[in-house]
Structure 1
Amino acid sequence: MILGGTVTGEFKTPEEWEELLIRSGFKAITAPFCCEDDENLIRKYMDIIERNHVKISEIGVWRNILIGQDIDYAVNQLKLADKLGIECCVNIVGTVSSLSWDAADVSNFTDDNYVTIVKSIRQVIDEAAPTKAYYTIEPMPWMIPDGPDVYLKLIDDVDRERFAVHMDFVNMINSPRRFLCACDFVEDCFKKLSPFIKSTHIKDSRMDVTKYTTHIDECPPGEGNLDYPKILQILDKYLPKDGAILLEHMSTFEEYDKAFKYVKNAAEKAGVEV
């Protein structure tokens, strides 16, 4: 596996970004550009990435395509991924809720909404017509797909060759049972979905067991309760040698660096090469 994340820190130019990339030690990253950026800027980043032998594991959409207005952006992101050979273009399914684009809402689980989800994913793939890249959906705690079996059903129902899996097992640790039996749950996720996985997020999970009712938090690796050496052994069992595992949701270079070093150390203890 190859370990990385989002290159984070203060920079104004691609050259300054390159300095952060080198300092990070990342060998896999999220794309530092999007389809709305100037082509020359994208080319500068691509030259840096190729020069440093780094893999772009994913390019994100992160917009709500269920309400229609961001379908074109999703299509263009997938087209850009295909053009540049980025295998994974990732989004969440979105919501029809008026609260926010990623809201926890009862509408997320209705039958009618599921039909809309399937149609919207098909539309993005059909309009982009990728031949190298895949459109993927990141699991969410309160949104389809919220478990591996739900994801398998979604794959069957979308029925598109270029639809695949973005793995985020922490987002699916959304109940005490999954938290307390986390290694078994993670193994189940990868056993069922590994043939379709194009990129993987790695985080940690912690649950407050002193209060009612259940409260589960995401946190950086090493700051939660997951058995990370064992988790990494599971990932190593199912992912290919060039399978990317990406740190996320930290704000500073120092936070990413701390988590990166923790995972590297846990991998060494587990006898796993990253």
Structure 2
Amino acid sequence: MRLGGASFAESKDPEEWAYGLKRAGYRAGICPIGNDADDATVETVRRAADKHDILIAEVGAWSSPISPDPAVRQAALEHCKNQLALADRIGARCCVNISGSLGEQWDGPHSDHFKPETFERIVDTVREIIDAVKPTRTHYSLETMPWALPDSADSYAELIRAIDRDRLGVHFDPVNMVTSPRLYYDNGAMIRDFFRKLGPRILNCHAKDIRLAGQLTVRLEEVVPGAGALDYRTFLSELDKLDPDTPLIIEHLRTEEQYGAAAAHIRRTAEELGISV
């Protein structure tokens, strides 16, 4: 696999971005430009990534294309299409978004998220995005979420069957699927189940960690990799069975030191398992 994180380059220059990742020991990163970039800029970023052996893991399309607000939905749809087109232009592994939200917060919970009509809305939305762009070098993917579909291997597989598009890939974030103490204490089994059912379609993964607070009621909080209970031995072992270029991207941290500590934990675990990152 290819471990990735954030580039703390002093400028947005593509060469410095790519070298910043390489200097930190990463071999993957998130696309540093948006869909408004011209062809020359896209090519410059692509060349810098190739020069420093950095795989562009994902182009984010973070928005809510299932929003009940017509204006918000339309803007999100256009954003997703444009970002998917950028991912195809630059040769990213995937363009990733969540399915969206029916609430006011674009990535927030809603009581109707698990209803059949929402499932159908997601199917129609993803089909529209993929069919409009017709990517040939990349895939559109949905990040697993705790309070929206897909929230499990089975719900993801059901969406894949219903959407029925070759250019739909899988994005796996196991922390987002740990939603109860049962899953928390046995998350290794959940990870193995996900890889068993969806492994060949996994294009990209996110690396973070989760900790159960000892206070009522149940409170699960995201923490730096190594400070929680995510079964990284299982996670890395399963990832190692896939395409060796599959990225694992550390995310949501604030400082270079935090990213360094997270990367050190992952590299140390991988070394114990004889896995190259």
- TM-score, length of structure 2 as denominator length: 0.92
Residue 251 of structure 1, aligned match among 230, 251, 254: 254
Deviation at 1:43, TM superposition (A): 2.6
**Structure-1 separation of matches of 2:219 and 2:94:** 31
Task: Answer yes or no: is the 8 Å Cα contact 2:175–2:230 preserved in 1.
Answer: no
What is residue 40 of structure 1 aligned with on the other side? 40
In structure 2, the gaps of 5 or more residues are 67-72
Q: Structure 1 residues 12, 194: closer, same or farther in 2, change over 3 A?
A: closer
Distance in 2 between the 1:89 and 1:18 partners? 19
Contact 1:87 1:133 in 2 (8 A): yes
In 2, Cα distance between the equivalents of 1:39 and 1:255? 34
1:74 deviation in Å?
A: 0.9
Distance in 2 separating the partners of 1:185 and 1:29: 26
Question: Which one-letter code corresponds to 1:248 in the other structure?
Answer: E
Displacement of 1:168 in angstroms is 0.8
Give the C-alpha shift of residue 15 in structure 1: 4.2
What residue is the counterpart of 1:226 in the other structure?
Answer: 230
Whichever residue aligns with residue 224 of structure 1, its letter is G
Contact 2:21 2:28 in 1 (8 A): no
Which of 201, 218, 227 pairs up with 1:214? 218
* Residue 102 of structure 1, aligned match among 104, 107, 111: 107
> Is residue 2:63 matched to residue 1:63?
yes
Tell me the distance in 2 between the aligned counterparts of 1:5 and 1:143: 25
Once the two structures are superposed, the pairs formed by residues 180-195 of structure 1 within 5 Å of their partners are: 180-195=185-200
Partner of 2:91: 85
In structure 1, what is the equivalent of residue 69 of structure 2?
none
SS at 1:108 equivalent: coil
Check conservation: 2:205, 2:248, Cα contact below 8 A: yes
The corresponding residue for 1:26 is: 26
**Is 1:271 aligned to 2:277, yes or no?**
no
Counterpart code for 1:72 = E
Instruction: Report what 2:127 is aligned to.
Output: 122
Take 1:268 and 1:211, find their aligned partners in 2: how far apart are those partners? 35
User: Partner amino acid for 2:24?
Assistant: S
1:219-252 Cα offsets, whole Å, 9 max, x none, are 2211112232343223223x22221111111122
| Structure 1 unmatched ranges of 5 or more | none
CA contact (8 A) 1:9 1:253 kept: no
Identity %: 37
Q: CA deviation at 1:34?
A: 1.6
Q: CA deviation at 1:62?
A: 0.5
Equivalent residues of 1:3, 1:28 under 8 A apart: yes
Cα shift at 1:19: 4.2
**Pairwise CA RMSD:** 1.6
Separation of aligned partners in 2, 1:136 and 1:224: 26
For 1:250, give the aligned amino acid.
L
| Greater CA drift, 228-237 or 120-129 | 228-237
Q: Is the 8 A contact 1:87 1:198 kept in 2?
A: yes
Q: Find the partner of 1:163 among 168, 188, 205.
A: 168
Please give the TM-score of this superposition, normalised by the length of structure 1.
Answer: 0.93
Instruction: State the number of aligned residues.
Output: 271
